[in-house]
Chain A
């Protein structure tokens, strides 16, 4: 069982099925890693006793027919887990213990996995560095002074540090793909509606989507297959036949048309990102794909649009935190209104408050047309850009982020510079499309950089296939020194 934890999920599944290792031994190995990695601050809650019991149960009566037979998994603390505290990285939910299980996590458990713990994240998934969490920032295993990205920063950190064999995050504007890019891991934001939003703490309902974060593209296809489903309880869930992404994974991409959008550039973008993009293009071309120059002319308006739509939806979603039905309640205030005001002021962190105020303002009487309606119109233009391009190409290749992982504290005093980190990831959420971030190389400091493949709606299989072929020919391997243990 030497080094089982640095293997991929699919390799671990093989070892479980061939009884080279028991689920209990596997679980114990991860628990040991987690206990030695407290410095990374990736976990908010651990469920070791429960995990060990589930592992023993599996070993006594193994069912190897499942997608995730006997696999312990840690998940982002935005997914409600029955009888296990769920905080969303916020003080206001610090004592919240759901009496129900999110559909996505229930799907994982129904496929043979079990919970190892809950992973730290930016408060209500609002952040790009995991620094807005009430439970403190998470450290990137790549370096002790680096952010792991956000908002699924606990997820990316835990995955890269071998604290979980695979994990899940949520992506509203890049919260899966950006942390995956910062840690040299694979992250997929599925098509809006493919994975149920039921039981996920809501941020911006028209953008939020759960997805897998894994070490390999094959692992990613296994996780997506396990977590996605039609769900009556989510009114925007897409009713379609379940696909076997892992069984159908192919590395032949000959003849596929890959769009290269000229707008995916920013001022002062490090030269290495351009070089990486060139390298990605060459790999795909050598594999027989055809590169086609395209234009997505409204790209630069995606972030300003996002910073109207997302806060507007958040201000409405977060109105539920009133200190009455669940969560934190302030003891200060002489009447009901003051109780609300103090509860929300003490319960929410600065970034969350900022976004609630932006959202409240853009929706308030007299300003709705100028901001929210305007943003919905621009969102239409952004979606149309993609629709037009996808009449000509099968997928689109871009960098995942405009930089590698930045230093802790580097951007906390300037919200707009923090927001700019999501410039390449946000358009996809506004258009509801699937996108895969793949580790593709290192910058001159030795920090990972990612490339993003954007697909048509519900065309996950195709971008996974392209990613699979890319991965085999890219030669990227995460070599992380375990400085924390």
Chain B
């Protein structure tokens, strides 16, 4: 299969990345060559193969459901590009 420009713009929308119109052509070319490479996998019949979902032969540990830290609001807000005293600030969402 091949990816056309419209499809790529749609995927970019899903990924929340704006794509420069001037770059769409070269991006389409690159992605198509990558997908051509990836699609070598279709040579293999995998009907009877179980997908590998974890590389470890153990199930994931779960921790106790209890609070282990807290009162670190300042640390969490420290790197925010825009904040007021207690909150992250984003462009207006609701009119």
Contacts and interface: CB of A to CB of B under 8 A. Distances in A.
- Answer yes or no: are A and B bound together in one complex: yes
Interface of A: 95-97, 99, 192-193, 206, 232, 235-236, 238-239, 298, 300-301, 303-305, 307-308, 315, 319, 322-329, 333-342, 344-345, 348, 353-354, 356-358, 360-361, 364, 371, 373-381, 383, 414-416, 419, 431-432
Interface string B1-39: 001000010011011111110000001001101110111
B81 A335 contact: no
B16 A337 contact: yes
Q: What 8 A-B pairs have minimum CB-CB distances, sorted nearest first? A: A376-B51, A326-B79, A432-B55, A329-B81, A341-B18, A377-B46, A380-B52, A99-B75
B46 A381 contact: yes
Interface of B: 3, 8, 11-12, 14-20, 27, 30-31, 33-35, 37-42, 44, 46, 49-56, 58, 60-61, 63, 72, 75-76, 78-82, 88, 90-93
B75 A360 contact: no
A329 B82 contact: yes
Nearest to A236: B56
Contacts of A376: 51-53
A377 B52 contact: yes
Nearest to A328: B81
B17 A378 contact: no
Contacts of B75: 99
A340 to B, nearest CB: 4
13 contacts: A300-B40, A326-B81, A327-B79, A341-B17, A344-B17, A345-B18, A357-B15, A357-B17, A357-B27, A361-B11, A380-B50, A414-B33, A415-B33
Interface of B is mostly: loop
Contact of A232 (B63, B80, B81): B63
A309 to B, nearest CB: 9
A374 B16 contact: no
Contact of B20 (A96, A345, A361, A415): A345
Contacts of A301: 40-41, 44
A381 B41 CA distance: 12
Given A99-B78, A341-B18, A415 B34 contact: yes
Contacts of B15: 315, 344, 356-357, 360
B79 A373 contact: no
B17 A327 contact: no
A206 B81 contact: no
Nearest to A433: B55
Contacts of A333: 91
Given A304-B38, A336-B91, A360-B14, A193 B81 contact: no
B52 A324 contact: no
Contacts of A342: 18
Nearest to B40: A304
A364 B17 CA distance: 15
B55 A336 contact: no
Contacts of A323: 81
Nearest to B23: A350
For A192, A378, A383, A431, the residue with the greatest tally of chain B CB atoms inside 10 Å of its CB is: A378
A375 B37 CA distance: 13
Contacts of A361: 3, 11
For B17, B33, B92, the residue with the greatest tally of chain A CB atoms inside 10 Å of its CB is: B17
For B12, B31, B37, B52, the residue with the greatest tally of chain A CB atoms inside 10 Å of its CB is: B52
